[in-house]
Amino acid sequence: MKPVVTRFPPSPTGFLHIGGARTALFNWLYARKTGGTFILRIEDTDEDRSTQESVDAILDSLEWLGIDWDEGPYFQTRRKEIHDRHIEKLVESGHAYHCSCTPEEIDAMREHARAKGLKPMYNGRCRNRGLSKAPGTVVRLKTPDSGVTVVPDIVKGDTAFQNAEMDDFIIRRSDGSPMYNLAVVVDDLTMGINTIIRGDDHLINTPKQILIYQALEADLPVFGHVPMVLGPDKARLSKRHGAMSVSDYRDMGYLPDAVINYLVRLGWSHGDQEFFTRNELIEKFDLKHLGRSAGMFDISKMIALNAKHIQAKSASELVFDLLPHLRQLGIDAAEDRFTCQVVETLQPRSKTLVDMAQSARFYYVDEPEMDEKAAAKFLTPESRDMLNQTADAIDAVSEYTQPALEEVFKQIMADFNLGFGKIAQPLRVAVTGTTVSPGIFEMLLALGKDKTVQRIRRAARLV
């Protein structure tokens, strides 16, 4: 059995979106699972719409997701000589021919067929004329007049297409550029691609591509057409469902491992398991469990899965991903032990890295901004003495540890005859400016003794 060779061939006419990322992921996972090769090919034959900005955005998104490639990126427009050689081979073997029919003549043929109740298509006028290449001519593939072309599909099963429904389609335009179906087949063939997993919106192209493979006397690759991703309302996924570019999800604070975990589950299953690490996906991914039903994109499920991935990571792993979000808030944090401690306190409650960065803000400012309602409720004249005594007691501890803080709190509770919550909430407001924060002991330890004492005393002065 030949080693698996898969590919991802995005068109650089925009950013990488969720559907494209899922296609890349399926091919990448299968190559990694089997020890095969994953090739990146940029299909930039639509030169009017293709841009370098889109190329850069696609590469950047793949790199962020951790989808690395073994070969490429290749660019389709730089392979014209290879495409031309194969087109000439098809002409020489009698499987293709030059056609001089004008667009107006083609329109007339289609109207004539339509008037007779037939499918509007090219009537094969130039098929047997033996024309040579000339200005304005195109090259067409000779397609069978009868029978069926069967697409063998590991996801959908066999799908048959009536050959009589296909006309002799163009494989080279009049300007000399190859058509999409020809370029795709030649590139896949010459790059050794033997496994193609793609969206089922490409299924309509596959019988034409199979006819080109057969005309070139080449073996067919394994085809797998996966259903499209739909929104919760079962309509085609759009921005209103959350179908933004991959880079948008990065900016919204999603982890790449969470994104690939969610995407792979939109078309593949392994029992009832929902949470996968990257290594688990590589280990368990297979083609037989690709689903035949459309995946339903649910942003709330994606957020919940992201929260689980945040909780599963070590704090040191998260620090690197968090720093850009802190910088967005004007916080110049470092990849150090302090930021690691901050992350540890926020992991259990953070759904995204944006959430985490916003919750971390109080750690990095000199004086936290006070929420007026919280201050009015908890920083009262009755709490002044408790706050001052707590600050003095914390300042006096020789070792700033959780057991030491617990002893301080016990003594304050006894001295003021207050329950833990009556002490913790004013202290939380004093230190963070709000009533919502990580656990009180973890937070105070991360903040450090000096800042803790300073903030409590400041709050007591505000009362």
Q: Which residue's structure tokens are 């007339």? A: 108
Which ranges in 37-179 belong to alpha helices (H)? 52-65, 80-92, 103-115
Classify 54 as helix, strand or coil. helix
Is the bond preceding 10 in cis, omega lying within 30 degrees of 0?
no
- Among 14, 1, 16, which Cα is nearest to 62's? 16
Which ranges in 296-378 belong to alpha helices (H)? 299-312, 315-328, 337-346, 353-364, 372-378
- Secondary structure percentages of the chain, helix, strand, coil, to 5: 50, 10, 35
H or E segment to which residue 172 belongs:
strand 170-172
Active site residue 239: yes
Which one of 33, 116, 133, 239 is the catalytic residue? 239
H or E segment to which residue 395 belongs:
helix 381-396
Q: How many residues does the chain have?
A: 463
* Helix (H), strand (E) counts: the chain: 19, 12
H or E segment to which residue 96 belongs:
strand 96-99
Which residues are known to be catalytic?
A: 239
